[in-house]
Amino acid sequence: MNLSSGPRRDEEVIESCALFRGLDADQRSVMTSMAVRQRFKQGAQIFMQEQPCPGIYIVDHGLVRVFRLAPNGQQHVLHLCGPNQTFAEVAAIGGFALPACAVTTQPTGCVMIPTDRLQQELAENHDLCRQLLTGMAFWVRHFVQLLEDIALRDAMGRVTRLLCDTPCNPSGLLRLPGAKKDLANHLNLTSETFSRVLRRLCEQGILEFNSNRSIRVIDAAGLERLARE
């Protein structure tokens, strides 16, 4: 998932982000003027749930694990955010406390739109409000699809959908977008079930594991068929 070869300009990161796909050039310039560049080491705590929201984070490179912490200490992974993806957007736009924690799983660089400046701009810039609705609609559709997958799909369907959504290079090699245990938790599966599905896909000739533990997609059409089913 870490497909970026190096830090990009702030405007490039903002333009690549699905949340801001509905913004015209003028409003993207407004967002860029507010942008703050932040870099984090692997394992860094970006924020904790129930804290005031610092802003909208857009990942330039790296990977961020966003999870909900239950009172008993149990964690549930809500997102694994890689390049061009956002987190903390709803809390920043809505102006409420953070509903989750965020920790980096790789060295990570982000562009951050501070909440205070964003809220001031939203109060004065009606065009920005209207255009942001388009990006929020895509965001909501994504999470409705995720809920449908968890509620209606079996383990094979959830894992194959994840694999289909993970970019491959021209030779079919893909890198899982996070640790297996985090991906399994995100899909509401156990680690054992997640690994068992991967083994079944290898036995069916859909995937193969290489010696360096990377995954190659052998039968892309078969993988897509299983994801649809």
- Say which residue, 37 or 169, is predicted with more confidence: 37
Q: Which of 177, 141, 172 is nearest to 159 (CA)?
A: 177
pLDDT confidence tier of residue 202, bands split at 50, 70 and 90: very high
Q: Which of 98, 85, 93 is nearest to 128 (CA)?
A: 93
Tokens of 223: 């993988």
pLDDT confidence tier of residue 66, bands split at 50, 70 and 90: very high
Q: Which long-range contacts (CB under 8 A, 24 or more apart) does 3-9 make?
A: 3/82, 3/83, 3/167, 4/60, 4/61, 4/83, 6/61, 7/60, 7/61, 7/109, 8/60
The pLDDT value recorded for residue 114 is 97
32-44 per-position pLDDT tens digit? 999 999 999 999 9
Tokens of 204: 């069916």
> What distance in Å separates the CA atoms of residue 100 and residue 57, rounded to the nearest whole number?
14
pTM above 0.85, yes or no: no
- Full set of structural domains in the chain with CATH: 10-151 (2.60.120.10), 153-227 (1.10.10.10)
The pLDDT value recorded for residue 4 is 42
86-136 per-position pLDDT tens digit? 999 989 998 899 999 999 999 999 999 999 999 999 999 999 999 988 878
Residue 212 has pLDDT above 70, yes or no: no
Q: Are 186 and 77 in contact (CB under 8 A)?
A: yes
CA–CA–CA angle 124, 121, 24 (5° rounding)? 95
The pLDDT value recorded for residue 187 is 86
